[in-house]
Chain A
Amino acid sequence: MEMMEKAEYITSEVEDMVVLRNIVKRFGKVVASDHVNIEIKRNEFFSLLGPSGSGKTTLLRIIAGLEKPDEGVVILEGKDVTNLPPYKRNIGMVFQHLALFPHMTVFENIAYGLRLRKFPEDEIKKRVYDALELVKMPHEMFAERKPSQLSGGQQQRVAIARALVTQPAVLLLDEPLGALDLKIRQHMMLELKRIQRTVGTTFVYVTHDQGEALVMSDRIAVIHEGRVEQVGTPYEVYEKPRTKFVANFIGEANFFEGVLRNGAVETSFGVVKVVSDIQSGKKVVVSLRPERIRVGKTAEGADNKFEGKIREIVYKGDVLIVMVALDDTEVKVNVPATHPEARKLREGEAIRIGWDSGDEAGVFELEAE
């Protein structure tokens, strides 16, 4: 019976490059992967996003074959590879600390996988040069250098070239931008996206940085405590988070708790109108993005209007972050610097804020404790 089910997966999911079925992985008492199901499509830029310790890297290592799942099946290009070692899987991987071979030149690093596959020497040369060109590193300048003679960003590019040169079915990236400083990181984000578009390889990208995930991904899986909280496009996970964790982890959000009655939530500072199909009478939490809240004149005509007091203003150039006190609840509001009333806001003064009932990022049922 189990065999038949397996066979069925294999025929029905060839379109999916990577499939994780019911993956369970434990390290001692810690459950790193808790019945994870993910399907990653051909040519997709797919991110595994979660805080550190959420189990996202474990999932990547399970796809690579560097960890063996305790339960579940890993399917690569329609083939069950659960019991195959990494060197028999058609994958490429870029490691967190890049793991370039320090005793080899850039050329030899990139040629490594090709030599193992016994390519003829002229083919190796051609492919290595093409790979270097893909990552915009002129081979005349860089091919004979050692990794220690390269900058962080250049090492990054070599690591990507090395992993892509064998034309793997899927490229696995484990927080490869973590060690770079901000400017190079932002640049490399766009570079990675360009490289992915050029080669069309499926990318699986592990990151704890929601900004990176939103910018680069076609789809994102949000991982929390070994479980998949939500899988969706950047737009979906940002605008339509399915759980409170996702709403909180991706972007910023204000949370109001209360009891849902007749399309409104009774909170400690007043009644908040919401759009939700949760049953009346349940305890819920409403999440609201700071940029959704309007202030001053623009707040007029909103479904939900409240008077508050400005507790603090933080100037960030393009936006003002205004902390507004509604009774004992503090609400974070992002006011664009271009807002006509932005310059008139003063700490300690009263402010009117408002938003429409359709604007909330989500209404989530509070789990019974």
Chain B
Amino acid sequence: MSWMESLIDFVRKYKLLVALLVLGPPLIYLAVYFFAPFIITILYSFGFIGRRGVITWELTIKYYQQALRWVYLKVFYNSVILAAITTVGSILMAYPVAYFIAVKAPKKWKNLLVVSVMVPYWVDFLLRTYALMNIFTMMKMMFTYEAVVIGMIYDYLPFMVLPLYANLEKLDKSLLEASYTLGASPFKTFLKVTLPLSKPGIASGTILVFVPAIGEFVVPSMLGGVSVTTIGTLTWDLFLKFHNWWRGAALSILYIAVVLITLIIYMRKVGELEI
């Protein structure tokens, strides 16, 4: 019996043990570095942890009451609107690009074109945002809402291009030809065949862009300064400027809850669309 066979034999005999050996490290990693911080955040939001990390053995919802104040709700609303504008903007920008690469471009160019969409994003996110600041300064657009919107769309564009491209790539060209032979012009064909069939691509792109865009704080704070406040910049300020970790934690948890609920509703809707 070779060592390979004895290994296979061992795996067969001690299935549970092997599963634990394989799954153990990632589970421990997740527990320590992913779930623990999350639980600590929850504990802070209920006031269970006090100043300097001392456990208070108390539970209170007053930080949530604070976080639900009208000013904060308005920031919430602003963030969702900004994320929605970012999402719609990136769909409008990404669709033609993805469509061209997936449907029109010659096969041998496709990979190169997809990579060329990605290349700017190999430069660090912060560096690119600093570069944008230069452009906006030249255009005298710094610290405006428009600058934030342009910067957000720029940063999230590939997350819309890639799922759309993956979807349109699968589009069966003979469906388009069938539509032509039935009397539909290319424009009508796009509206009645291509667009409805690319809904799953738009849906996954929307999730990839909309959710992180709500919580985005780097772009609004760097390009918008004090003129644009989002849930992200607000949380940042609460933690690092005002050192009010409890209210910041409550706000973060509320944010997660809102995103989760929105996402569930959205997924249900998308599920109905699925073919």
Contact = CB atoms under 8 A, between A and B. Distances in A.
Interface string B172-210: 101101111111110010001100110000000000000
B183 A166 contact: yes
Q: Which of B172, B178, B179, B197 has the most CB of A within 10 A?
A: B178
B196 A113 contact: no
A148 interface: yes
Contacts of B175: 99, 101
B178 A95 contact: yes
Given A86-B177, A99-B172, A99-B174, A113 B197 contact: no
Contact of B180 (A86, A101, A162, A166): A86
Contacts of A21: none
Interface string B44-74: 0000000000000000000000000000000
Contacts of A93: 177-178, 181
Interface in A99-126: 99-103, 112-113, 116-117
A241 interface: no
A86 B196 contact: no
Nearest to B174: A99
B275 interface: yes
Nearest to A89: B181
Nearest to B176: A99
Interface residues on A, range: 20 to 34
A14 B183 CA distance: 23
Contacts of A97: 172, 174
Given A101-B175, A102-B197, A103-B196, A66 B275 contact: no
B45 to A, nearest CB: 44
Given A116-B184, A166-B183, A99 B275 contact: no
Nearest to B173: A99
Contacts of A162: 182
Interface string A158-174: 00001100100000100
A331 B192 CA distance: 58
A103 B181 contact: no
B182 A113 contact: yes
A48 interface: no
A102 B182 contact: no
B275 A87 contact: no
B181 A64 contact: yes
Contacts of A85: 180, 185
11 contacts: A66-B177, A86-B180, A96-B174, A99-B172, A99-B175, A101-B193, A102-B197, A103-B275, A113-B183, A166-B182, A166-B183
